[in-house]
Chain A
Amino acid sequence: MPVELTAPIPATAKAEPRLPGDPDLWFLILAELLTFGMFFVAYVGYRAMETEVFNASQLTLDRTLGVINTLFLLTSSWAVVSAVRAARANHSQQVPRYLALAILLGLSFMVVKYFEYSAKFAAGISLNTDTFFNFYFALTMIHLGHVIGGTVVLTVIWSNARKGACHAGNMRGIESGATFWHLVDLLWIFLFPLLYLLR
């Protein structure tokens, strides 16, 4: 049985406003957002110069797979939030279950991306096809790198949580991991409409 070190944090407790996780982690989050913000500005800039090429190439993307991946990431973010909430309430057994779900969804995202990339390569489309596909592959690969990194982080936390290490008295690790995972999700929420939907 995991030892309860601290009383559960009541959901209604009026806490001091604070940043979840390691406060300095937010420096990394902000820097990542600025980086991707720069990618997005570059994308929109190049798009304005070659609107027709972008519009034509965008149509070849599989929107259904894009929507499925969006749902995967949104659901995984919900699972991570549930894990944090369970840890805060000292429901230590539930924490690894929610995290496992989030990890599974992260892996599913990678599998879908694999099929998406293979279909593009099979159709003779590659990074060098045109400026749109420059961006499509570059941005989604960099994002995929973040998904892989985030999944590794969640797996480490999951393995700690199985030993009962995630509870109200030890929230820093799980909150930091959750914050990073939300960043990965948020970036996709921007990427998906920019690459798949913007006309």
Chain B
Amino acid sequence: MDEKTSLRYQLISAWCGPAFVVTFIIFWLGFGHNFPNPSPSLTAIALKERYLGSLGEIRLGFIISMITVCLYMPWTCVLAGQMSRIEGKNMPILSYLQLIGGALTVMVVSFSAMFWAVAAFRPEASPETFQLMTDTGWLCIDLQYACTTLQMVAAALVGLADKSKVPLFPRWVCYLTIWCGISFFPASLTGVMKDGPFAWSGILSFYFPYFCWLCWYSTASVFMIKEIRRRMNVAEPVGSSRLAAA
């Protein structure tokens, strides 16, 4: 593959990042009725009614989410490639860590949506079934954040060790990344809390860490796209080869 083609694929993959954020917000949060999300203190009957009230939208939201969450994959690959360039001829363990962290994040998010899609599959099922599947989905995504934290820490450590003239990430982005990774910790409390700010519908276990996650993801996307653009300009300075060919 020539460099131009490779760079084009890199650029498309990096743009999958913003595309993931937008589709996640539309389908997972919007159509999936996760904004606000159901409280763990809802009774089983109230929860079932919540599903039945917007069954079509919830099904559409989560089924599409399971497809669009895969936009996270090409983005993770670009980041792994950019990181391994910084790791140089050393063993690229942090790039690998980021890669599997990103891959597992996709599965964690995907499985949450799948459990809720299962809940919406048989509307005649008992309220307890709805409750069980809803609990499983939320605990699946809220307790398994450490894959994503490791992905972020790996990216931040490589970013901080970047000695390039124009580094991939400015140092403040690396610290933002570490902090966003730390912000997930309260989500572990969702395993025991049924109401209050640390329950899975609470501000400190849901709105805040999810915001931080998307905030890091969007910021990193901007700098990854910039890096690819820089390399495109080096590979083919604007208006040079095409004019020369003509």
Contact = CB atoms under 8 A, between A and B. Distances in A.
Contact of A42 (B170, B179, B197): B197
A31 B189 contact: no
Contacts of A42: 197, 203-204
B223 interface: no
**Dominant SS at the A interface?**
helix
B183 A35 contact: yes
Chain A interface size band reads: 20 to 34
Contact of A32 (B179, B203, B204): B179
Interface stretch (A4-12, A112-120, A127-135): A127-135
B198 A25 contact: no
B171 interface: yes
Given A24-B172, A28-B178, A38-B208, A127 B193 contact: yes
A131 B172 contact: no
Nearest to B197: A42
Interface string B176-210: 10110011011001001110111000011000100
Nearest to A35: B183
B174 A128 contact: no
A46 B189 CA distance: 17
A68 interface: no
Given A42-B204, A138-B186, A28 B175 contact: yes
Contacts of B179: 27-28, 31-32, 35
Contact of A46 (B175, B178, B182, B197): B197
Nearest to A131: B196
Nearest to B198: A138
Contacts of B194: 128
Which 6 residue pairs spanning A and B have beta carbons closest together? Answer: A24-B171, A28-B175, A31-B179, A27-B172, A27-B175, A24-B172
6 contacts: A28-B176, A42-B203, A46-B196, A46-B197, A128-B192, A138-B198
